[in-house]
Amino acid sequence: MKNELLLEFARRLMCHPGIACHEHAVREEVETICREHRLDYRRDTFGNVLVTLKTAPQLRPVVLSAHMDHPGFEILKQARGGDWQARFRGGVPENYFVPGTRVRLMPDNIGARLGKRLSAARKAYLLESARSGAPEPAFAVWDLPAFEARNKRIYGRACDDLIGVAAILAVMAELRKKKARVNLLGAITRAEEVGFLGALALAAKRTLPGNALVISLETSRELPGSTMGLGVILRTGDKASIFDSDATRYLAEVAAETQKRNQAFQFQRALMSGGTCEATAYQEYGYQSAAVCVALGNYHNCGTDNRIEAEFVNVHDASSMVCLLVNAVRRMGEFSRLVARLPERLQKLLAEARDCLPERNRAR
């Protein structure tokens, strides 16, 4: 399956580089897409974008959350000539910082190369550019193709988590177009790669309705138990938390029904312990939280042989994520009924157990 709107949004968002606290270009594209698709949005006091589609306010609200930033370099100060001191923000192992690796200085998009390490503790490096006298950059990103769709995959510098952001916007645009009766909020956040700061600030401020079901959307390192190409992953937990059992079961029930009606739709269920996602932040602040993700190749641009490479995801997986969430948001009024199916099945089994296993005074 292939969702054209998702592909379009992914291409448009991934063209813009962004790192923690420097997500401005991505955010402007998010807001442009919202305007084009007549989705209401506003920025909260922390700079997160909150998108709303509230056509059935009596329904319990659903929040879909994904982040705009990606690991990259924050410029500290000028060194000699066209060189800059920078610190790396985000999780990339030390062995990938090979001197000579190409980077781009932003926002002016000037080519530079990774120089020597200045401080291991601060993850500080020299970035060397032949262009002296160029304007002071704000940040730098790896010099990688921004977006390529080939072999049923999306390749690019930052699939994490612009695929998640594109998926939220695709879900909202589709529901808006179909005039669906929903109560939906998109939380498109900042600074996740340095400790989900945007989501944490949003959760702590309690801007989101307290009774909301919060679902985190991510791309997550492919681990045993999850397979790229086999559909959206119901993420039962992350490195830090196990997510809400009822909320995950709700998604599983909706996914099973979606599959019955649409053979192309696929889903899997796994604990993705490769990283911590925003659901952990929301859950700690009392929100009933669940998570979905798609398997990610070259997680945080870590390719083979210590090489920095484009990340990639499978188009079918990402499209399955949109399909699942469209249905989950639409059916929110049936949450209790769908979650109650398991205890009902267990009650029937218990009746069978009483027939098959008559109780005796003493176990034999």
What are the C-alpha distances in Å from 85 to residues 81, 122, 124, 126, 200? 12, 11, 7, 5, 29
Task: Please say which residue, 160 or 311, places its beta carbon nearer to Zn ion.
Answer: 160
Least distance from Zn ion to the Cβ atom of residue 131, Å: 31
Pull the structure tokens for residue 61: 């609200």
Supply the minimum distance, in Å, between the C-beta of residue 347 and Zn ion.
40
Q: What is the dihedral of CA 295, 299, 303, 305, to 10 degrees?
A: -110
Quote the least distance from Cβ 165 to Zn ion, whole Å. 10
In the complex, least distance from residue 161 CB atom to Zn ion, rounded to whole angstroms: 4
Which range of residues in 28-36, 89-97, 157-165, 258-266 is near Zn ion by CB under 5 A? 157-165
Q: How far is the CB of 222 from Zn ion (least distance, A)?
A: 14
Burial class (CB in 10 A: 0-12, 13-18, 19+), 1: middle
Sites for Zn ion among residues 56-85 (CB under 5 A): none
Residue (161 or 244) nearer to Zn ion, CB:
161
First to last CA, the chain: 54
In angstroms, what is the minimal distance from the CB of 243 to Zn ion? 16
- Residue range at the interface with Zn ion (CB under 5 A); choices 83-91, 112-120, 154-162, 178-186: 154-162
Kindly tell me which of 153 and 235 has the beta carbon lying closer to Zn ion: 235
The dihedral formed by the CA atoms of 258, 259, 263 and 264, expressed in degrees to the nearest 10: 80
Tell me whether residue 63 or residue 182 sits nearer to Zn ion (CB atom): 63
Tell the smallest beta-carbon distance from residue 125 to Zn ion (Å): 22
Cβ closest to Zn ion, residue 65 vs residue 183: 65
Dihedral sign computed on CA atoms, order 172, 151, 225, 277:
negative
- The phi-psi region of residue 109 (left if phi > 0; otherwise alpha if psi is between -120 and 50; otherwise beta) is left
Considering the complex, state which of residue 67 and residue 123 has its C-beta at the smaller distance from Zn ion. 67
In terms of residues, how long is the chain? Answer: 364
Stretch that binds Zn ion, among 160-168, 175-183, 201-209, 353-361 (CB under 5 A): 160-168
CB atoms within 10 A of CB 353: 11
Strand positions, DSSP E, 90-226: 102-106, 110-119, 124-128, 139-142, 148-150, 153-156, 183-189, 213-221
238 binds Zn ion (CB under 5 A): no
- In whole angstroms, the minimum distance from the beta carbon of 274 to Zn ion comes to 10
Cβ-based nearer residue to Zn ion, 128 or 222 = 222
Determine the Cα angle at 160 with ends 159 and 165, to 5°.
Answer: 85
Q: Kindly tell me which of 74 and 161 has the beta carbon lying closer to Zn ion.
A: 161
At closest approach, how far in Å is the CB of 219 from Zn ion? 6
Stretch that binds Zn ion, among 82-90, 101-109, 161-169, 195-203 (CB under 5 A): 161-169
Distance (Å, rounded) from C-alpha 358 to C-alpha 216?
Answer: 46
Nearest CB to Zn ion, comparing residues 259 and 273: 273
Token code pair at residue 195? 């400790």
| Of 161, 244, 311, 317, the one binding Zn ion by CB under 5 A | 161
Rounded least distance, CB 293 to Zn ion, Å: 9
Output DSSP code: residue 92.
-
Q: What residue number has its CB nearest to Zn ion?
A: 161
Of residues 23 and 161, the one with the C-beta less far from Zn ion: 161
Please work out the total of residues on this chain that contact Zn ion, with binding judged by CB under 5 A. 2
User: H or E element: which one contains 322?
Assistant: helix 315-330
Give long-range contacts, CB 8 A cutoff, 24+ apart: 204-207: 204/285, 205/44, 205/45, 205/46, 206/285, 207/44, 207/50
One-letter amino acid of 200: L
Does 160 bind Zn ion (CB under 5 A)? Our answer is yes
Only segment of 75-83, 156-164, 175-183, 304-312 that touches Zn ion (CB under 5 A): 156-164
| Residues at the site binding Zn ion, with contacts judged by CB under 5 A | 160-161
